[in-house]
Homo-oligomer: A and B are copies of this chain.
């Protein structure tokens, strides 16, 4: 068991499941010989052949629609969209079909597909390569949206996503692809979906985040610990559906909450969490909920992306303000 990166963990999970599930296929652009532009699918073609590892023509709407058809027919397709900035043509298939097949046929047909995409900023990529629009998917009933934030969770959550009988949008924080390594055992054990992970227990304030922003959030928690503020850090992990139980329980203890996301603010996942806290947890709040988010601006090109993305400092600042609230 060697230490591996998040993108290697994605690859490991794909490898594992391809080996054990003959109904699984992967499809997308450049995922074959090239092994994916981030190398997430490297080695799959060599091992499983071009019957199961399918380089597609360049058409995201078609990739999603084809995956829907495969899945309805009982295969377990894992489709890659090369960057989240190119996922929009695939939305129609997700909202109009993937999410509805089971419901509209009262269970006669279903759609066990995974739509994977690297997402998020921070790697100085060209225009359209740094998107975080998970909220658009989180609004769609009938699908799941899952975001890992570490190699172990990438491995376990991706296995769970592939085995899930319903459609899952699986977003990989590309800034974390090679940011850190963890020991990941290739034991085929999935992690549960629909549940948060408490990464750091704490008693003073609850910090909720997901994807790449967890790293800033954890750094902020460390820094705050030095200031005597004991923050609980929760990895949301499954963005839809949201495990509010864990969050409410935590905020019930701490009375304070800061939500951290990279995405634009309006109608985002942080809005939903804050709204639910305001509905269901209002009486346990000692201070207003704060959201540390990307701005409601177009994700700027990379010379300014550092100014767009919430950094440790903004999180620390928000926590201090929340703690100071009397």
Contacts and interface: CB of A to CB of B under 8 A. Distances in A.
Contact of A99 (B91, B95, B298): B298
A85 B95 CA distance: 9
A132 to B, nearest CB: 10
Given A271-B271, A275-B270, A139 B264 contact: yes
A61 interface: yes
A280 B288 contact: yes
Interface stretch (A11-19, A113-121, A289-297): A289-297
Contact of A279 (B139, B242, B289): B289
A59 to B, nearest CB: 11
A181 to B, nearest CB: 33
A99 B139 CA distance: 20
Contact of A95 (B133, B268, B289, B297): B133
A139 B298 contact: no
Interface in A269-326: 269-272, 274-275, 277-280, 282-283, 285, 287-291, 295-298, 301
Nearest to A95: B88
B280 A278 contact: no
A127 B104 contact: yes
How many identical chains are in the complex? 2
Contact of A88 (B96, B269, B288): B96
Nearest to A259: B275
Interface in A89-124: 89, 91-92, 95-96, 99-100, 103-104
A267 interface: yes
Contacts of A61: 89
B275 A279 contact: no
A267 B296 CA distance: 15
Nearest to A87: B92
A128 interface: yes
A73 interface: no
8 closest pairs, A vs B, by CB?
A274-B275, A88-B92, A278-B278, A271-B275, A282-B288, A271-B271, A139-B267, A271-B272
14 contacts: A88-B91, A95-B133, A99-B298, A100-B298, A104-B298, A135-B135, A138-B267, A141-B264, A141-B298, A142-B297, A241-B266, A267-B267, A271-B274, A282-B287
